[in-house]
């Protein structure tokens, strides 16, 4: 019998097992453990056919959001840490958004005018909007009015440029702003009510050598009329003498202006408003007023004698009057 011939077994003899391996499906029944077998101590084995299940502690609320990692059996502490991190990141992002929005809003608010914000408008205290004070240049080689070398305390700058400019909203008084910038003495004298006073002052100006008068006037929208006159003499000594002899008094001016038969010293004028090297004498019309209330102030600065007059029907306000006087003093100081 050759090697490749198969021998037939005798009757009653069991057939030998095949030497070739069978499929796993066929071996599975033999590999299963008996039902009565006791459990083995140690970690439970996970059956390969089952899907992994993530264990969620009872104390952790379910959010319904998919987990970012596929790892099963994650510990409760690690899950809470990741949720806490996500919460922190959300709040941080929200804080950044609010900070940017708030910064933009704050920038917009600061760029707005205060009176454009409802509820934040600042009530005006009555001051007028004057242009910035700028002293005119001095002629070459001329000293300042109160320099040590200027014994006459003379103002060498153009007197017309030393008159205060009108504030915003003021309508110029053309009678006080001639083409050349000067006014005749009669224009200044017309401010006084009595003909006797006008004649007396006219003679004094001639005797004291009045050089010229610069003036400017305007009317504000509320009806307040302002007139400013600057009278220049040869020296500060002469101007001071004219001031003391003909204009100032302890309780009232020496000469009454038109519409103000009697005036008293303005006690409300702030003392801190005094400008160095400049004196002022402010007066307020006494009640009862006439057609207008008249306020006036005489200013003495070196060789210049000034007069500021404000009048208004129903009452001339104190704040713009004081502001105008002080600014005129600063120009002369």
State how far the alpha carbon of 317 is from the alpha carbons of 207, 244, 287, 292, in Å. 37, 27, 14, 11
Task: For residue 213, list its beta bridge partners.
Answer: 183, 231
What SS3 state is found at 296? strand
Query: Structure tokens of 35?
Result: 């039902």
**What pLDDT shows up at residue 110?**
41
* Residue-level pLDDT at 273: 76
Q: Choose among 80, 37, 89: nearest CA to 59.
A: 80
pLDDT in tens, the chain (333 residues): 444 444 444 455 555 444 444 444 444 444 444 444 444 444 444 444 444 444 444 444 444 444 444 434 444 555 556 666 666 667 766 666 556 555 554 444 444 444 444 443 445 678 999 999 999 999 999 999 999 999 999 999 999 999 999 999 999 998 887 667 799 999 999 999 999 999 999 999 999 999 999 999 999 999 999 999 999 999 999 999 999 999 987 788 989 999 999 999 998 888 777 899 999 999 999 888 888 999 999 999 999 999 999 999 999 999 999 999 999 999 999
Q: Are 246 and 200 in contact (CB under 8 A)?
A: yes
pLDDT value at residue 268? 85
pLDDT of residue 181: 76
Q: In whole angstroms, give the CA distance from residue 85 to residue 81.
A: 6
pTM here is 0.65
The C-alpha atoms of residue 293 and residue 41 are separated, in whole angstroms, by 112
With vertex at residue 100, the alpha carbon angle to CA 95 and CA 105, rounded to the nearest 5 degrees, is 120
């Amino acid at each position: 019998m050759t090697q490749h011939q198969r021998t037939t077994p005798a009757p009653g003899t069991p057939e030998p097992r095949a030497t070739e391996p069978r499929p796993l499906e066929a071996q599975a029944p033999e590999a299963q453990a008996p039902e009565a077998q006791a459990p083995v101590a140690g970690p439970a084995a996970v059956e390969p056919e089952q899907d992994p299940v993530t264990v969620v502690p009872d104390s952790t609320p379910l959010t319904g959001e998919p987990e970012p990692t596929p790892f099963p059996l994650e510990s409760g502490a690690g899950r809470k840490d990741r949720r806490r991190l996500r919460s922190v990141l959300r709040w941080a992002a929200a804080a950044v958004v609010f900070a940017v929005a708030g910064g933009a809003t704050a920038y917009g608010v600061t760029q707005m005018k205060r009176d454009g914000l409802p509820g934040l408008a600042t009530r005006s205290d009555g001051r007028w909007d004057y242009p910035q004070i700028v002293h005119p240049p001095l002629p070459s080689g001329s000293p300042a009015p109160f320099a040590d070398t200027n014994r006459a305390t003379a103002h060498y700058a153009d007197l017309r440029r030393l008159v205060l400019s009108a504030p915003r909203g003021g309508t110029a008084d053309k009678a006080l702003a001639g083409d050349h910038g000067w006014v005749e003495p009669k224009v200044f004298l017309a401010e006084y009510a009595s003909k006797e006073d006008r004649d007396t002052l006219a003679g004094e100006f001639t005797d004291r050598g009045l050089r010229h008068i610069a003036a400017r006037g305007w009317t504000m929208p509320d009806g307040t009329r302002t007139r400013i006159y600057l009278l220049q003499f040869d020296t500060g000594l002469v101007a001071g003498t004219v001031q003391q002899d003909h204009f100032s008094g302890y309780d009232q001016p020496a000469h009454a202006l038109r519409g103000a038969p009697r005036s008293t010293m303005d006690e409300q004028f702030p003392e801190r408003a005094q400008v160095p090297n400049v004196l002022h004498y402010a007066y307020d019309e006494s009640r009862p007023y006439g057609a207008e209330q008249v306020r006036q102030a005489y200013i003495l600065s070196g060789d210049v004698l000034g007069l500021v007059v404000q009048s208004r029907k129903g009452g001339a306000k104190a704040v713009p009057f004081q502001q105008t006087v002080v600014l005129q003093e600063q120009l002369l100081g």
